[in-house]
Structure 1
């Protein structure tokens, strides 16, 4: 089978090298600097995010090769469509996770019962004990048991440990030369997205399920990165906006496939399916709307941290958000407080 490199660099064309971080003038263009305050559209925000995650150069302009891009997208589509992508290539979802999620949502489950569930996964036991032994949770008396550690963490702390233990290795599992870079960027966005989803979930949907949806929402993007990296390696070509949008659609489909494979809670899966099949203005499920807005606020936060977007730039999509502007402003402030670099 011809490699992806061949599709982009047919007929003896010299491969393009990976582009450096965009210059200040290019950043202004990515930020959509229009008017006195500057506004970035939803399309601009998403495209900048996908390019950053996939480590792709800025828009190719006249250098784009539409026919070759279409061929590559078709090859990716053939791999991803109809369940052809082997979701078993992703790290496993621990079998204890669904039971643990249900238990953490119950007001009647105590620390001893949670500890009994966690004991079924030795690696998770080690992670809980490691976190509670850190400076953040250090107490005057040594932690003598798993139950003590669970009580010390509390529901919020335990939720964070469990989901981080599960999802971070999955997102960091991108193979190939840029795997660590892509995986870390995916995890950074997932943390911010999950945090924003909890913030916006009040009165809309279950906060724990919103947190989980925020973590898994771009799992498929890592799979797309792996598929591309197998053929491209370090030679990442400039590519068009249409190519980026096509990759995003395929990534959403792979996210749904992976979530079904992991048997995630129905509300989470339903939201991911609606995201993959509907436009933002057509979403009807509360969790879908929470997830959509949380992901884009997280995109904005992450790009601002990386210097790829002016932190004061307005996001035009907020004007059409189902959430009131003051709530979105508070969510942005909360993201800055918890994630902005010192």
Structure 2
């Protein structure tokens, strides 16, 4: 109807106006995303960030970008995924696998059994009565829930790195974001016709490159990290590409690798859009929890729609 009225009133003028509005909206969206990234980076590095020269900033960025061209070297800076978890995720690719078979696979590792039962009793699932058996826990989680839990267990040591310095100091905050990003992306996925598990996996994986980037910054700046928000925006972009390179080296699904590399690109896949939304919601949740921003902040009011704000609220109850 609007297009018909526009043609009646002015023909091509309406088309040109719409195109201009679309371009302006895209620019505004990019600016908002950069402002949120800058605010989150400043919070992340509040106790470790320092004023350093632009020359040092450029050296950090150059080395991070160079690592994106060296997948093996980049992957060597973080622990490998545990073999058992990889095998389990492979078994879970069978959509027709039975609860009994799933329980048997999980039961091979007592630590994993405890994690599965604990997850089934968490506030997220809210069982009517405590679940005490592995089979009951597997039934409660379902195939996708079990996949997501295994992915989280597998990724945890990648972010909670054993290295010293800045990377170690920021690791707890980075992992908090990874968990919340994964959860938010999985919630956003159905509405964007993206895979729930793939969205969750991309959310967990996207910060691996950032942890490597902090190792680089620590080395180049001799125990410091640049604290500038503008630098943070550049570092986050470079580290996201690095994460995708490492994910590809580890044979992650191609669509997950692409989504990590292109999150925020309006022309990218539905999975990339889902990841970008989850990433934003998670960053805003952490900034709200840290009282850096308020609920009525323009980042929240202007950056999220109603459904995204409800997801933001759900993240407040997500345990560490």
Normalising to structure 2: TM-score of the pair?
0.74
- What's the CA shift string for 1:21-77, capped at 9, x where partnerless? xxxxxxxxxxxxxxxxxxx822111111123334466795xxx52233223433443
Counting helix residues as a fraction of each chain, which structure ranks higher? Answer: 2
Alignment partner of 2:181 out of 178, 190, 193:
193
SS at match of 1:291: helix
Alignment partner of 2:250 out of 262, 270, 285:
262
SS at match of 2:291: coil
Where do 5+ consecutive residues of structure 1 fail to align?
1-39, 320-324
- What's the CA shift string for 1:106-158, capped at 9, x where partnerless? 55221112123334556534533555688977967853xx4344234434542
Where do 5+ consecutive residues of structure 2 fail to align?
1-30
Structure 1 residues 213 and 122 mapped into 2: Cα distance closer, same or farther (>3 Å)?
Answer: same
2:120·2:140 contact (CA, 8 Å) conserved in 1? yes
Indicate the residue corresponding to 2:267 in structure 1.
282
1:336 to 2:320 alignment? no
Indicate the residue corresponding to 1:52 in structure 2.
43
Indicate the residue corresponding to 2:28 in structure 1.
none
1:296 to 2:280 alignment? yes
1:57·1:236 contact (CA, 8 Å) conserved in 2? yes
SS at match of 2:266: helix
2:198·2:256 contact (CA, 8 Å) conserved in 1? yes
Indicate the residue corresponding to 1:109 in structure 2.
97
- What's the CA shift string for 1:170-218, capped at 9, x where partnerless? 1111621344431111111112111211221115111111111111122
Tell me the number of residue pairs that the alignment of Structure 1 and Structure 2 aligns.
286
Indicate the residue corresponding to 2:239 in structure 1.
251
1:209 to 2:198 alignment? yes
Indicate the residue corresponding to 1:228 in structure 2.
217
- What's the CA shift string for 1:87-122, capped at 9, x where partnerless? 133222233545544654655221112123334556
Structure 2: how far apart are the matches of 1:236 and 1:269?
A: 27
1:183·1:222 contact (CA, 8 Å) conserved in 2? yes
RMSD: 3.5
SS at match of 1:81: coil
SS at match of 1:337: helix
Structure 1: how far apart are the matches of 2:89 and 2:296?
A: 37
